[in-house]
């Protein structure tokens, strides 16, 4: 009965089906080279790999070197023209060359481990046989000696490595586990806990059944989501990575000392992921069972996860390095543990971090099974309020007047948990990377001469550059770089400058590596999460009629809400695009020649704009703010038609986020019906002025 209630529930089935579709969708349409989806990239990868069949590793490396030399000769001959397909092909050749070179050098790598171990044992620091350092060298040599004689071979490595390109599958499994944990304690929300607790099987026996349900749900989620992703990788990249190959044939696993095949690795990986998800679910269920107050339980869960995440930053050399492995995130991102070889001191003995995780996993599962069964047996539905909850009640009683005085902002940020969304946004933007730019072969040399001759274009500068070219003292690369700068300066309109353009190119890149769309999607998503309850919260509380009957419940309230919408929109805009600008300056240097006319940049040359570059930058980011304001107003409008916050979030997500997500993966239809292209902005500039 209990298992049927969970596994046949509409929520469980709908979330699982939705996650399967989303994972497949995002994987197939992700862009490994920033230009094409996985299927196109996989077809080219397979075609080039097949062209090397029958070649030895040395011959395959030579083929790649000859290909790269031919491309370099074309470049030096001035025959190079940017072509998306050709650049992708060059990237794949470089990837395969690295794969072949790794395979050729793997035996030397293993031999070097043994030589280094013997060498270190002769050094006084490592020479004491009773020291941990000496034991570490001995253990490392012994572990990797198991790989002696292994025959690494070439294969479709990307059929394996592409599985780990993004963490969607890991997060999806955790979502399923959290959903099941919520279903297991649903009787509290429905007011049935007292009745269930009073029955003969409503305590420990029911808890044991639910342990089995949680284990089954973890296995189902792992088999369905991980298995689906593995099959997609095999379909896109042709061959599932050749399951009978030694795992060490793939460079990602060069540091794994355990002999196994690719197929055996997938079996181990899925088993550990399933039981790891089971343990994470047990931890969450233990907290939810022990703490009756849902808000407090979620707060404790967040605190536990925060501490666990902080432990992942502990240095490997630290005395507390074991906490980095005995960690929830070791099972969420098991690949990082599996591929990193590190011996940890535990009670004076050395053990590999991966082995420590695998040994402790069943122990941790057993401990938390005992914990949840004990809590179910001993915790009563009706009892004296815990001291912690009494203290929290006093804090709430003290804070409530402050929240009431804070008006709409406190209602949205505190009552509706908007502050959590902002905290999550802070975490996400802290992981952002600088906007990439389209790289061409002459970039370093062009940038050098742009810096050297930066400023208004004068006849003296043109003559100086011409003289440098005619003197012939430069090598071929510098000559081509200077020639490009000179030709660009000659073609520039009257009054233009020579500008060191690298930072501007990062701002106005043509969606290189899908950066513009991904960043815009992030801003839209968090704005929707933040603002979707803005108008529905009064309807959910049945306060609309009362508010409309008060003197300030109409125009004045709407004015306050609109000011709040504008303020939060500006905050999201500043956090996302302020971080973008800061990272660009940090990566590429400050924006030079801000007083130069906009026509000085190649992209804006046909625009006819004589405004200075600083004004164009300000206008560009102000345009992004206006688009985000439009997104916020759409959310406000949709929210005002909803009776519940949940409905408002679903409606805003369906109308605003889903088209934006489709546009982010290259859907033309999504681009037409979303705010993503106007918010990115740079793609529109390229369409208008290229």
DSSP letter for each residue of 300-368: HHHHHHHHHHHHTTS-TTSTTTHHHHSSHHHHHTHHHHHH---EEEETTEEEEHHHHHHHHHHHHHHHH
Pick the more confident residue, 651 or 686: 651
Give the whole-angstrom CA distance, residue 206 versus residue 1: 11
3-state secondary structure 167-236: CHHHHHHHHHHHHHHHHHCHHHHCCCHHHHHHCCCCCHHHHHHHHHHHHHHHHHHHHHHHHHHHHHHHHH
Poorest-confidence range of 28-42, 53-67, 230-244? 28-42
Tell me what the mean pLDDT of segment 611-623 comes to: 92
Range from 34-43, 166-175, 467-476, 480-489 carrying the lowest mean pLDDT = 34-43
Q: Is 418 exposed, middle or buried (0-12, 13-18, 19+ CB in 10 A)?
A: buried
Mean pLDDT score across all residues of the chain:
80
Q: Average pLDDT for residues 649-662, to the nearest whole number? A: 84
Which residue blocks in 353-417 are alpha helix, DSSP H? Answer: 353-378, 387-406, 408-410
Instruction: Give 4-34 pLDDT, tens digit per residue.
Output: 877 788 888 888 888 898 888 878 776 666 5
Question: Residue 455: beta bridge partners?
Answer: 498
pLDDT of 232 > 70? The answer is yes
Rounded distance, CA 634 to CA 550, Å?
26
Burial bucket for residue 90 (CB in 10 Å: 0-12, 13-18, 19+): middle
Query: Which tens digits make up the pLDDT trace of 87-120?
Result: 788 888 989 999 999 999 888 888 888 888 777 6
Mean pLDDT of 57-61: 91
pLDDT, tens only, 237-283: 887 767 889 999 998 998 888 899 999 999 999 999 999 999 989 98
**What pLDDT sits at residue 575?**
94
pLDDT at 405: 44
Structure confidence at residue 465 (pLDDT): 87
- Lowest-confidence segment of 80-89, 203-212, 616-625 by average pLDDT: 80-89
pTM above 0.75, yes or no: no
Closest CA to 280 of 329, 346, 344: 329
Q: What percent of the chain has pLDDT over 90?
A: 15
| pLDDT at 582 (0 to 100) | 94
CA distance 46 to 238: 7
* Residue range 209-231: mean pLDDT, rounded: 91
pLDDT of residue 570: 94
Checking if the pLDDT of 629 tops 90, the result is yes
List, for residues 551-605, the tens digit of each pLDDT value.
Answer: 555 667 777 788 888 999 999 999 999 999 999 999 888 898 889 888 888 888 7
Cα–Cα separations (whole angstroms), residue 502 to 19, 117, 168, 435, 520: 40, 46, 33, 11, 21
């Amino acid at each position: 009965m209990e298992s049927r209630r969970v596994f046949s529930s509409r929520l469980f089935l709908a979330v699982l089906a939705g996650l399967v579709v989303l994972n497949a969708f995002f994987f197939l349409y992700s862009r490994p080279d920033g230009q094409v989806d996985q299927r196109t990239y996989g077809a080219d990868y397979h075609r080039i790999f097949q062209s090397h069949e029958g070649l030895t590793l040395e011959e395959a490396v030579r083929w790649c070197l000859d290909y790269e030399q031919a491309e370099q000769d074309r470049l030096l001959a001035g025959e190079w023209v940017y072509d998306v397909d050709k650049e992708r092909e060059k990237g794949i050749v470089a990837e395969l060359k690295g794969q072949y070179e790794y395979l050729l050098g793997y035996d030397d790598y293993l031999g070097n481990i043994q030589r280094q171990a013997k060498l270190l044992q002769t050094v006084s620091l490592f020479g004491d046989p009773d020291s941990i350092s000496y034991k570490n060298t001995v253990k490392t040599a012994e572990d990797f000696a198991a790989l002696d004689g292994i025959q690494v071979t070439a294969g479709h490595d990307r059929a394996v490595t592409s599985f780990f390109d993004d963490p969607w599958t890991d997060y999806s499994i955790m979502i399923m586990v959290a959903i099941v944990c919520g279903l297991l304690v649903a009787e509290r929300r429905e007011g049935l806990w007292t009745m269930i607790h009073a029955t003969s099987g409503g305590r420990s026996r029911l808890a044991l059944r639910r342990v089995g349900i949680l284990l089954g749900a973890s296995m189902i989620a792992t088999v369905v989501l991980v298995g689906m992703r593995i099959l997609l990788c095999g379909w896109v990249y042709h061959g599932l990575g050749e399951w009978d190959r030694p795992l060490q044939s793939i460079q990602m696993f060069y540091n794994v000392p355990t002999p196994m095949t690719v197929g055996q690795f997938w079996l181990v990986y899925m088993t550990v992921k399933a039981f790891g998800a089971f343990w994470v679910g047990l931890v969450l269920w233990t907290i939810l069972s022990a703490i009756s107050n849902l808000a407090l339980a979620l707060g404790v869960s967040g605190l536990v996860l925060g501490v666990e995440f902080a432990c992942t930053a502990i240095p490997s050399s630290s005395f507390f390095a074991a906490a980095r492995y005995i960690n929830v995130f070791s099972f969420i991102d098991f690949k990082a543990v599996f591929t990193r070889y590190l011996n940890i001191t535990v009670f004076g003995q050395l053990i590999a971090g991966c082995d420590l995780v695998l040994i402790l996993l069943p122990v941790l599962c057993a401990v938390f099974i005992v914990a949840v069964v004990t809590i179910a047996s001993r915790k009563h539905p009706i009892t004296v309020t815990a001291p912690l909850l009494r203290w929290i009640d006093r804090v709430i009683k003290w804070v409530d007047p402050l929240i009431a005085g804070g008006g709409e902002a406190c209602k949205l940020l505190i009552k509706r948990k908007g502050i959590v969304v902002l905290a999550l946004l802070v975490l996400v933007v802290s992981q952002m990377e600088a906007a990439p730019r389209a790289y061409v072969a002459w970039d370093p040399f062009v940038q050098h001469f742009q810096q050297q001759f930066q400023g208004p274009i004068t006849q003296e500068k043109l003559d100086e550059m011409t003289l440098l070219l005619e003197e012939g003292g430069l090598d071929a690369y510098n000559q081509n770089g200077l020639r490009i700068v000179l030709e660009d300066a000659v073609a520039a309109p009257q009054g233009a400058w020579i500008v060191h353009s690298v930072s501007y190119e990062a701002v106005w890149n043509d969606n290189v590596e899908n950066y513009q769309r991904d960043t815009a999607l992030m801003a839209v998503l968090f704005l929707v999460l933040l603002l979707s309850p803005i108008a529905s919260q009064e309807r959910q509380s049945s306060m609309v009629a009362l508010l409309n009957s008060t003197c300030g419940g109409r125009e004045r309230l709407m004015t306050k809400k609109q000011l709040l919408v504008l303020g939060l929109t500006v905050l999201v805009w500043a956090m996302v695009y302020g971080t973008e600008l800061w990272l660009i300056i940090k990566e590429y240097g400050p924006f030079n020649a801000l007083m130069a006319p906009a026509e000085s940049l190649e992209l804006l040359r046909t625009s006819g704009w004589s405004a200075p570059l600083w004004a164009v930058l300000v206008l560009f980011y102000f345009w992004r703010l206006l688009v985000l304001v439009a997104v916020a107003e759409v959310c406000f409008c949709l929210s005002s038609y909803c009776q519940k916050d949940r409905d408002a979030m679903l409606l805003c997500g369906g109308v605003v986020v889903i088209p934006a997500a489709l546009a982010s993966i290259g859907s033309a239809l999504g681009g037409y019906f979303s705010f993503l292209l106007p918010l990115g902005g740079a793609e529109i500039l390229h369409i208008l002025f290229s």
